[in-house]
């Protein structure tokens, strides 16, 4: 039996998937609540202050309209992966990857 590890998208720490970690429904994973919150993750919460993770629906709001969705910046489209933004920027600059490489090399030379 093998054990899978992943790198936290915020701090880069290697985390075992069979251990404690925070995960979003979209698949993003973080090593801790702090890293998840820094990356824009919001765990299930209740507008009324009840414990949403309590599975007793009579005493919590896990089954009502007061439950706020679990999501991250990427699910809510408040942020986007770098690759998506790069593709968009290249299109907006009306160039291609090869030309962008040439521009970057020239920029780097000017810095020296």
Q: Measured between alpha carbons, how far is 105 from 101 in angstroms, rounded to an integer?
A: 6
Residue 87 in tokens: 């593709």
pTM exceeds 0.75, yes or no: no
Q: Classify residue 93: in a domain, yes or no.
A: yes
Q: Classify residue 106: in a domain, yes or no.
A: yes
Could you state, in chain order, the average pLDDT of each consecutive group of 10 residues for the chain (112 residues)? 81 86 86 91 72 54 65 85 93 92 93 83
The answer to whether the beta carbons of residues 47 and 68 sit under 8 Å apart is yes
Give the count of beta carbons closer than 10 Å to the beta carbon of residue 3: 8
Element at 13 (helix H, strand E): none
Q: Classify residue 62: in a domain, yes or no.
A: no
Q: Classify residue 86: in a domain, yes or no.
A: yes
Count of structural domains within the chain: 1
């Amino acid at each position: 039996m093998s054990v899978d590890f992943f790198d936290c998208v915020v701090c880069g720490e290697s985390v075992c998937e069979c251990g404690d970690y925070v995960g979003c429904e979209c698949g993003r994973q973080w090593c801790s609540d702090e890293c998840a919150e820094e990356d824009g993750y919001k765990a299930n919460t209740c507008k009324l202050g009840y414990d949403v993770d309590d599975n007793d629906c009579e005493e919590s709001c896990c089954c009502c309209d007061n439950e706020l969705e679990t999501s991250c910046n990427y699910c809510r489209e408040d942020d986007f992966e770098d690759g998506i933004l790069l593709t968009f920027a290249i299109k907006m600059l009306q160039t291609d990857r090869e030309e962008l490489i040439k521009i970057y090399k020239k920029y780097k030379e000017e810095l020296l």
